[in-house]
Amino acid sequence: MNSDDAGATWRQVDSPVSSDLLGVDFPTPQQGWAVGHEGVVLHSADQGKSWVKQYDGRQAAKELVEHYTKLAEGGDEAALAYLDGVKLNYKDGPEQALMDVWFADDQRGFVAGTFGTLLGTEDGGKTWVSWMERVDNPDFLHYLAISGSGEQVFIASERGIVFRFNKGSGRFDLVETGYSGSFFGIDVTPQAVVAAGLRGTAYKSLDQGASWSSMQTGVKVALSDVQALPDSRFLLASVDGRVIISDAKLDAFQSVSTSRPGRFSSLALLPGGKVVTVGYSGVRQVGLR
């Protein structure tokens, strides 16, 4: 869907694929990317008014097998495990989903998905390269969300694990948060990182991911998304149609109103400070205060 009036009205736009789309990111007002099932990557250069397919799971399967075969033939023993994993992931076709996408600017970005799938681009999605071997994830855990701020980039995963980009090594390091369930959403500001997941669980870090502490959200169902606001507060959406907002210190939450309840899957910050929820029942505006 697309809106030209800061979310007041919306219209459906054509998609070049029939796959379910699960994540979207616009690093600039014009340039945006969307990802989803069957490994599809879509790109828009006109504020989401039109989309083209840049990549899909068939290309990923072919290129990942070629990549790890070449590394293995060159004597990289670790590449054999990735080669076996990739072949297993794609043995039944391009079924691996890309769960989320994040771009630092209109050239550099990542797409992240199931069974440890992580691809990066430095040319606006014209080419994608594997980052799977650059993550401390030997168990091929699912990547469920990715977000960043400047040089800080974090991936939310299963088992309460977050992966943090290490600029010095050029890798993503595994970080234990103290939680044992899945995180479905994560967002990053220069001051804080918040990850949220099952049973209303949310964790925060105020030191760039070095340490984490739990947050009392007052929600008992899964939290589907996290959105940082410009005033240092964070919004969280739940699958049962609630939206909660933190205080600036991330110590407490309170409920905020939406135009209509629904099963919310994500949140989006619009120009002018407006926020909407997105889900199976469409777009809902959030009443901030």
Kindly list the structural domains of the chain, giving each domain's residue range(s) and its CATH number in brackets, ordered by start. Answer: 21-261 (2.130.10.10)
Q: How far is 204 from 75, CA to CA, in rounded Å?
A: 41
SS3 of the chain: helix, strand, coil, percent, to 5: 15, 40, 45
What is the predicted pLDDT for the residue at 105?
A: 96
What is the predicted pLDDT for the residue at 288?
A: 72
Q: How far is 270 from 268, CA to CA, in rounded Å?
A: 6
pLDDT tens track for 60-103: 999 999 999 999 999 998 999 999 999 999 988 888 899 999 99
Q: Which helix (H) or strand (E) covers residue 65, if one does?
A: helix 57-73
**Of all residues in the chain, what percent carry a pLDDT higher than 70?**
93
pLDDT tens track for 160-193: 999 999 999 999 999 999 999 999 999 999 999 9
Global pTM reads 0.92
CA gyration radius, the chain: 19
What is the predicted pLDDT for the residue at 3?
A: 55
